[in-house]
Every structure is written in C-alpha cells, then in structure tokens.
Structure 1
C-alpha cells in the first residue's frame, strides 16, 4: 500500500494548456508537454519541475475529462496566446508518491479515496450531473523520461486539495 501524507502547500504558478481528453487517446494529451516546455524556453522562462496534470472534471475513466497539462514556474509568465497561466491553490493536500510510475496511478487513486474516507478527510470536490469537479487534483511527474525510459521507475506525486 502507498503511504499518504497531509501537507500544507503554498500556491504554485504554472503555464499550460487546458484540454478535454480521454485515457485511450492520452498521447494527444501528452503531446502538449514538449510544446509547453519549448514555448516557455522561447519566452525566457524556467520550469520548476516536471509536468503537472491538473484534473478539473471527471465522470468515469472511460469518459472524456477536463484537464490542464502544465509546467510549474516560479511566477506567472506569458508564453504565447496558445497557452494559459494560473495557480494551483494553496491549502492542505492529501499527497502520495507511489512506486510504479503512471501504471500504478489507477490503484493509487482508489487507495487515496478509501484512505481519505477512513480518515474523515473532505476532498475539495463538487459532484455534479456531468461528473466530479475538483478544486485541485494533480499528478506531477518527477522523473525525466529521457533520463529513465523504464516507466515503472518513474516517480509521480499525486495530490488532492482538502476542504
């Protein structure tokens, strides 16, 4: 089982692209990552870590979901009209850093939901007819895939904002 922690976090600035995507076409979502890094470099910006996938709305894993593919930055920076800027809100977060890379994420999310329920933690979500809307649910990839091609060795951090 994955270890979970509660962390108080400051807001984090990011640049990125919001999309509606499906897991079966995740390559289309991932295609934005190098574009964001290239635009950031061209604008003279410096990334502060690996890409962050911010989940905003999800119904089931087989339905399209609203996400923002982003890169953390030290402060807001405009990198072009095709890109957005924003912040991941400050607050208390339920956090996991599972082993097993992206292939372990489905199980980790299920465990986090169960663990949060047992601990009496209130996730910052709103359930609507079109799915669950998150105030902040993120997956940040901490390993550079060019340095480590084995997906099972990639470090990933999962974080849910709490109320």
Structure 2
C-alpha cells in the first residue's frame, strides 16, 4: 500500500553535533513523556547561561512500534561546552554523515503518516538507512525529529515545523 502523504526528501551532509539528552523507554501511548523532557532540558541549560546551538529534537534509538521505543529528548550544545551533569541527563554526539531529510509544516499528529511516506520514498529510491533489525526492534544510527517551530512559537498547530532527518548507510 502506498501512502498519499506528500514528502519532499533532500539528502544533506550533517556535521557531528554534541547534545544534552534524556533517554526514555516509552510506548506509542506514552511517547509524550519523552517529548515533555525537552522543556526540562532547555530550562536546565538556560539556568546555566547556555544557549542551545539549534532546535531541540527527539532521537529514536530502538523502535518496536508494537512494544517499546528507546527515545532520547535532546538539545544541541555549542561546540566545546563543558558540563557537570548527573543522571538522568547525559551527553552524546549526533553522528556526522549523509542524512535524508524532509520538513513537515502542520499538526504534529500528522507525523506518523509523513514518516511512513518518507520511509516509502526512500525504499522506492533504493536508499538504505543506518539501521539494523535486532530482537528488541530496529536500532538506528541516527533517526531524528527536529522541532523548528512549535507551541512556544505559535499556538496554531498548523504552523508547526518538524524536520525528519534519518542517517543513511555509508
């Protein structure tokens, strides 16, 4: 079955990006728990006088849509930022590489359909993801939902802008 949701994918080269994150194991019903951590991260950085180096994101590490997802809420850090942190906070680096991206402007409830169309487009065009199947689900090298515009910018959900950026296999 082919999705009717239009997507306009672009391949882009992304540099490595350090970030501050909080990792959670959630289900599709509780994924909002991971997204809620984004405000906590931004507040934590602001309290320390640090301005994020870009928009916040969710990074999907392991995905089993029927059971659990290992997801990380993240905020990009300026290069060279040194932090004294404690659990549940952690730092990591989004890997450099080629990413297939597309941007959705509209209600975030539409992202499941947009993601499906994005995955279908890549498959039709013979692209391979930096991902592997495991007993716990699909493990991704880097699969991001990047939130460029959201509720802090405009309460009208139809204006929200989310970029999908999935790392391609080398």
Shorter-chain TM range is over 0.9
Q: Judge which range, 99-108 or 133-142, deviates more.
A: 99-108
Q: Judge which range, 116-125 or 146-155, deviates more.
A: 146-155
Contact 1:89 1:136 (8 Å CA) reproduced? yes
Unaligned runs of 5+ in 1: none
Q: Give the equivalent residue in structure 2 for 1:69.
A: 73
TM-score, normalising length from structure 2?
0.89
TM-score, normalising length from structure 1?
0.92
Q: Give the equivalent residue in structure 2 for 1:3.
A: 8
Give the deviation of 1:99 after TM superposition: 2.3
Q: Give the equivalent residue in structure 2 for 1:12.
A: 17
Unaligned runs of 5+ in 2: 1-5
CA offset digits 1:110-139 (Å, max 9, x no partner): 111111111111100010121100000000
Please point out which of 101, 104, 122 is paired with 2:110. Answer: 104
Contact 2:148 2:162 (8 Å CA) reproduced? yes
Q: How do residues 85-124 of structure 1 correspond to structure 2 at under 5 angstroms?
A: 85-124=91-130
Q: CA 1:150–1:77 in structure 2 vs 1: closer, same or farther (change >3 Å)?
A: farther
Give the deviation of 1:79 after TM superposition: 5.1
CA offset digits 1:16-60 (Å, max 9, x no partner): 101111231233222211211111122222112322100000111
Q: CA 1:123–1:31 in structure 2 vs 1: closer, same or farther (change >3 Å)?
A: same
1:130 and 2:141 matched: no
- Root-mean-square deviation (CA), in Å? 1.5
Instruction: Name the SS for the 1:147 alignment partner.
Output: coil
CA offset digits 1:43-87 (Å, max 9, x no partner): 222112322100000111x42200110011222432521311111
Contact 1:15 1:77 (8 Å CA) reproduced? no
